[in-house]
Protein backbone atom coordinates (compact mmCIF):
# COMPACT_ATOMS: atom_id res chain seq x y z
CA UNK A 1 0.00 0.00 0.00
CA UNK A 2 1.31 3.45 -0.96
CA UNK A 3 -1.07 6.12 0.33
CA UNK A 4 -0.87 9.72 -0.85
CA UNK A 5 -2.33 11.00 2.41
CA UNK A 6 -2.58 9.61 5.94
CA UNK A 7 -4.79 11.16 8.60
CA UNK A 8 -3.62 10.20 12.08
CA UNK A 9 -6.47 10.17 14.60
CA UNK A 10 -5.03 7.95 17.32
CA UNK A 11 -6.76 9.88 20.10
CA UNK A 12 -5.68 10.62 23.62
CA UNK A 13 -5.32 8.84 26.91
CA UNK A 14 -6.07 9.67 30.52
CA UNK A 15 -3.57 12.03 32.09
CA UNK A 16 -2.17 10.45 35.23
CA UNK A 17 -0.86 13.11 37.61
CA UNK A 18 2.52 12.47 39.26
CA UNK A 19 1.15 11.94 42.76
CA UNK A 20 2.35 9.57 45.46
CA UNK A 21 0.00 6.57 45.59
CA UNK A 22 -1.59 7.19 42.17
CA UNK A 23 -0.77 3.62 41.15
CA UNK A 24 -2.75 2.14 44.04
CA UNK A 25 -5.14 -0.80 43.59
CA UNK A 26 -8.28 1.33 44.08
CA UNK A 27 -7.27 3.94 41.48
CA UNK A 28 -8.96 3.72 38.08
CA UNK A 29 -8.86 5.94 35.00
CA UNK A 30 -12.05 7.75 34.12
CA UNK A 31 -11.59 6.98 30.42
CA UNK A 32 -11.57 3.26 31.27
CA UNK A 33 -14.94 3.57 33.04
CA UNK A 34 -16.51 5.59 30.21
CA UNK A 35 -15.26 3.13 27.58
CA UNK A 36 -16.62 0.16 29.53
CA UNK A 37 -13.16 -1.32 30.05
CA UNK A 38 -13.53 -1.04 33.84
CA UNK A 39 -16.69 -1.20 35.96
CA UNK A 40 -16.90 0.09 39.50
CA UNK A 41 -19.07 -1.75 41.95
CA UNK A 42 -21.02 -0.44 44.92
CA UNK A 43 -19.02 1.79 47.20
CA UNK A 44 -17.92 5.35 47.83
CA UNK A 45 -16.25 6.99 44.86
CA UNK A 46 -13.88 9.96 44.82
CA UNK A 47 -13.24 11.61 41.46
CA UNK A 48 -10.08 13.68 41.05
CA UNK A 49 -11.03 16.37 38.53
CA UNK A 50 -14.24 18.36 38.25
CA UNK A 51 -14.13 19.25 34.59
CA UNK A 52 -16.46 17.86 31.94
CA UNK A 53 -15.20 14.26 32.15
CA UNK A 54 -15.20 14.20 35.96
CA UNK A 55 -18.74 15.59 36.10
CA UNK A 56 -19.98 13.17 33.42
CA UNK A 57 -18.54 10.32 35.45
CA UNK A 58 -20.13 11.61 38.65
CA UNK A 59 -23.49 11.96 36.89
CA UNK A 60 -23.26 8.41 35.58
CA UNK A 61 -21.93 6.73 38.73
CA UNK A 62 -24.36 8.49 41.06
CA UNK A 63 -27.34 7.49 38.94
CA UNK A 64 -29.48 4.75 40.52
CA UNK A 65 -29.82 3.07 37.11
CA UNK A 66 -26.06 2.94 36.43
CA UNK A 67 -25.59 -0.62 37.54
CA UNK A 68 -28.69 -2.76 37.92
CA UNK A 69 -26.84 -5.09 40.29
CA UNK A 70 -25.23 -2.59 42.62
CA UNK A 71 -27.18 0.63 42.11
CA UNK A 72 -25.74 4.10 42.51
CA UNK A 73 -22.77 5.04 44.64
CA UNK A 74 -21.99 8.10 46.78
CA UNK A 75 -19.68 10.33 44.74
CA UNK A 76 -17.30 13.12 45.78
CA UNK A 77 -15.54 15.32 43.22
CA UNK A 78 -12.28 17.08 44.14
CA UNK A 79 -11.54 20.05 41.87
CA UNK A 80 -8.66 22.54 42.04
CA UNK A 81 -10.69 25.40 40.53
CA UNK A 82 -13.34 27.30 42.49
CA UNK A 83 -16.24 25.44 40.83
CA UNK A 84 -16.95 22.29 38.86
CA UNK A 85 -17.93 21.87 35.19
CA UNK A 86 -16.40 25.20 34.16
CA UNK A 87 -15.43 23.72 30.77
CA UNK A 88 -18.99 22.55 30.05
CA UNK A 89 -21.08 24.67 27.67
CA UNK A 90 -23.50 26.91 29.62
CA UNK A 91 -26.69 25.26 28.33
CA UNK A 92 -25.50 21.83 29.44
CA UNK A 93 -23.97 23.09 32.67
CA UNK A 94 -27.24 24.65 33.85
CA UNK A 95 -28.89 21.21 33.57
CA UNK A 96 -25.92 19.20 34.85
CA UNK A 97 -25.23 21.02 38.13
CA UNK A 98 -28.75 20.65 39.58
CA UNK A 99 -28.80 17.00 38.49
CA UNK A 100 -25.53 16.33 40.34
CA UNK A 101 -26.96 18.06 43.40
CA UNK A 102 -30.16 15.97 43.23
CA UNK A 103 -28.04 12.81 43.09
CA UNK A 104 -26.12 13.87 46.18
CA UNK A 105 -22.76 14.41 44.49
CA UNK A 106 -20.46 16.33 46.81
CA UNK A 107 -17.99 18.83 45.33
CA UNK A 108 -14.81 19.87 47.13
CA UNK A 109 -13.47 22.88 45.21
CA UNK A 110 -10.35 25.05 45.40
CA UNK A 111 -8.52 21.91 46.52
CA UNK A 112 -5.25 20.48 45.24
CA UNK A 113 -4.68 16.75 45.62
CA UNK A 114 -1.27 16.17 47.20
CA UNK A 115 -1.31 12.40 47.70
CA UNK A 116 -3.48 9.38 46.97
CA UNK A 117 -4.00 7.15 50.00
CA UNK A 118 -5.23 3.57 50.17
CA UNK A 119 -8.81 4.76 50.65
CA UNK A 120 -8.76 8.47 49.83
CA UNK A 121 -6.64 11.53 49.21
CA UNK A 122 -4.74 14.26 51.01
CA UNK A 123 -5.76 17.68 49.70
CA UNK A 124 -4.55 21.20 50.30
CA UNK A 125 -7.19 23.89 50.58
CA UNK A 126 -6.79 27.41 51.91
CA UNK A 127 -3.20 26.61 52.91
CA UNK A 128 -4.23 23.65 55.09
CA UNK A 129 -3.97 19.94 54.46
CA UNK A 130 -7.09 17.80 54.84
CA UNK A 131 -7.71 14.10 54.38
CA UNK A 132 -10.72 12.66 52.60
CA UNK A 133 -10.92 8.94 53.26
CA UNK A 134 -13.30 6.01 53.44
CA UNK A 135 -13.42 5.68 49.64
CA UNK A 136 -13.73 2.40 47.76
CA UNK A 137 -12.62 3.78 44.39
CA UNK A 138 -10.53 6.77 43.33
CA UNK A 139 -11.17 7.83 39.75
CA UNK A 140 -8.75 9.95 37.72
CA UNK A 141 -10.44 12.57 35.54
CA UNK A 142 -7.53 15.02 35.32
CA UNK A 143 -7.61 15.62 31.58
CA UNK A 144 -6.06 13.85 28.63
CA UNK A 145 -2.77 13.74 26.79
CA UNK A 146 -2.20 13.15 23.09
CA UNK A 147 -1.27 9.74 21.74
CA UNK A 148 0.67 10.03 18.48
CA UNK A 149 3.44 7.56 17.82
CA UNK A 150 2.51 7.15 14.16
CA UNK A 151 2.95 10.53 12.45
CA UNK A 152 6.72 10.75 13.01
CA UNK A 153 7.19 7.23 11.65
CA UNK A 154 5.26 8.17 8.49
CA UNK A 155 7.14 11.39 7.72
CA UNK A 156 9.21 10.96 4.58
CA UNK A 157 7.29 7.79 3.66
CA UNK A 158 3.93 9.40 2.86
CA UNK A 159 3.61 12.69 0.94
CA UNK A 160 1.01 14.20 3.30
CA UNK A 161 0.46 13.38 6.98
CA UNK A 162 -2.20 15.15 9.05
CA UNK A 163 -2.65 14.72 12.79
CA UNK A 164 -6.15 15.52 14.04
CA UNK A 165 -8.37 15.27 17.10
CA UNK A 166 -6.98 14.36 20.49
CA UNK A 167 -3.87 12.95 18.80
CA UNK A 168 -3.00 16.57 17.99
CA UNK A 169 -4.36 18.20 21.15
CA UNK A 170 -6.97 16.97 23.64
CA UNK A 171 -10.22 18.93 23.41
CA UNK A 172 -13.94 18.57 22.89
CA UNK A 173 -15.33 16.21 20.24
CA UNK A 174 -17.03 19.00 18.27
CA UNK A 175 -13.69 20.75 17.77
CA UNK A 176 -12.09 17.53 16.56
CA UNK A 177 -14.97 16.89 14.14
CA UNK A 178 -14.67 20.42 12.71
CA UNK A 179 -10.93 19.92 12.31
CA UNK A 180 -11.46 16.60 10.49
CA UNK A 181 -13.99 18.21 8.15
CA UNK A 182 -11.55 21.03 7.34
CA UNK A 183 -8.74 18.56 6.55
CA UNK A 184 -11.12 16.55 4.35
CA UNK A 185 -12.02 19.71 2.39
CA UNK A 186 -8.31 20.52 1.91
CA UNK A 187 -7.53 17.07 0.57
List pLDDT tens digits, range 102-155.
Answer: 999 999 999 999 999 999 999 999 999 999 999 999 999 999 999 999 999 999
Render 133-169 in DSSP notation, one character per residue.
---SEEEE-S-EEE--SSHHHHBTTBSEEEE-GGGTS
Q: What pTM was computed for the model?
A: 0.88
Query: Across residues 74-91, what is the average pLDDT?
Result: 97
* pLDDT band at 72; cut points 50, 70, 90: low
List pLDDT tens digits, range 23-37.
Answer: 999 999 999 999 999
- 3-class DSSP assignment, residue 182: helix
The percent of residues above 70 in pLDDT, for the chain, comes to: 97
Residue 132 CB partners (closer than 8 Å, separation 6+)? 46, 76, 78, 108, 120, 121, 123
Q: Is 44 left (phi over 0), alpha (psi -120 to 50) or beta?
A: beta
Cα 4 from Cα 6, distance rounded (Å): 7
Q: Which has more confidence, 69 or 29?
A: 29
Ordered structural domains, the chain, with CATH? 5-10+146-186 (no CATH), 17-141 (3.50.50.60)
pLDDT at 39: 87
pLDDT at 165: 93
Average pLDDT, the chain: 94
Q: Which has more confidence, 21 or 66?
A: 21
Amino acid sequence: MKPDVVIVATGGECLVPPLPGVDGPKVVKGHDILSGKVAVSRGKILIIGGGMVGCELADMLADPGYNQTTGSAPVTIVEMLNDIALDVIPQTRMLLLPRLQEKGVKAVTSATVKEVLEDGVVIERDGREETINGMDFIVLACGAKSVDTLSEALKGKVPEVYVIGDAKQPRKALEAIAEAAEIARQI
